[in-house]
Amino acid sequence: MMTGTKTEKRLSVRRMLTDRGGNFAMMTAILLPVTLATVGVAMDMNNLVQVKSALQDAADSAALSAASALANQNLTDEQAIALAKTFYATQYKNTRGTTDAVPGEEDKLVLTLGQNAIASVNKNIGTKLNTYDVTINGSIDVPTNAFTQLLGYKSVKIAVEAKAESSKETKSALSMYLVLDRSGSMSFTTDTVDTTVSSCVNYTAANWAYKDVAQGKKNYISPTKPCYVKKIAALKTAAAMLLTQLTTADPLNVLVRVGAVSYNDSTQAASGINWGVAGASAYITALPLVPTGGTDASGGMKIAYDALKSTATTETNAHTAKGNERFSRYIVLMTDGEMTGNSSNWNSNIDSQVRTHCANAKADGIEIFTVAFMAPTKGKELLSACASSASNYYEPSDMSGLVKAFEEIGKAAAKATTRLTN
């Protein structure tokens, strides 16, 4: 009896194990979550590839933008880092919108991206080449779909790194000649008050004829209040602004060469072209406080052209010795009058000579800036014709305009010595 009972039990177990009636339901219950999770992972993988691409593009653009700004806009490290983070987050949002934000936290996407990003700046400042490296590391937690979450992954972190380099390198050194008016009308007043003195002799066209009358004699010109800045003083201030721009661009005096010459109805001895601005600055500072004489810029323009023309070797040799393979050439011509020579009337012959020198210089590749400061019509017409382009011509009517004109000329010339490369 005992043997029969054991046999029946064994048969029952065997029948249960070999019964295939409920296998499908059981296997479905086991495999369905796995199948759904696999589908979810496939869907998320496609999305993550898109996120990775957008995030990398944003980081690349941000690093390049910050590196370029460092070289071109002279940003501080902190400003460049802030720019990189903001650009990175904004660029990503512009590409992906808020698709990858955690539900309910869409507004925090850009803020979080920027805050979590890590950016760094490395500067290599050289004599002729400044290099700016920017690195940015960013990441984002991308929420997974419900199927992938069956595997326990609620989000996946995507991380990227981008590096960019910009260089401010020597494109062209420069040689510049300043041709400046120091005729009698440069003693006349501007409309700017000279606050450094209480009174002075204010020369104008109306009283200039009496400038040599001694005190106590008829028509003697007495000091009056307020004292107005003379044109020559305004010119000195303006020229200093130009030279400052060049010094900033070339603090080591290896790129910029400047010369200066002044004129009235004759041409004064020139300072000649030298490295840096010291020689030209001293020359301009020494111009007389009360200049006299007529107006003839032809001699000054000839000196400038002869020094800078392509067939002359002095400038080429000087720049070659400093390792400058090429250099730009500039003439800055300034007057407050018309070409009269040693008279008070316009002289067409002198005017024509100046135009010829300007035409020859431009044909030779020399760029000419001109400044007609409170000048009459003939003077404006001459300098407008001499300028290399309309944007190279200035006609300021007061001291502030003159200073601004020379500053812009200095910036334009200084900018030509650099090139931004990525």
d(CA 347, CA 295): 10
254 and 199 Cβ atoms separated by less than 8 Å: no
345, exposed or middle or buried, with CB in 10 Å at 0-12, 13-18, 19+? Answer: exposed
Rg for the chain (alpha carbons), in Å? 39
DSSP tally for the chain: helices H, then strands E: 11, 12
Task: Identify the DSSP state of 185.
Answer: G
Q: Which DSSP symbol is given to 205?
A: T
pLDDT for the residue numbered 29: 45
Position of tokens 């590096």?
A: 163
Residue 372 forms beta bridges with which residues?
335
Tokens of 304: 């400038």
So what's the pLDDT on residue 172? 67
DSSP letter for 203, please. B
pLDDT along the chain (422 residues), means of 10: 57 56 50 51 70 86 84 81 87 74 65 84 71 88 70 77 76 89 98 95 96 94 96 97 93 94 98 96 97 98 98 95 90 98 96 98 98 98 98 97 96 69 40
pTM of structure? 0.63
3-class DSSP state for residue 2? helix
Taken in order of first residue, the domains within the chain and their CATH numbers are 28-169 (no CATH), 173-421 (3.40.50.410)
Contact 296, 264 (CB under 8 A): yes
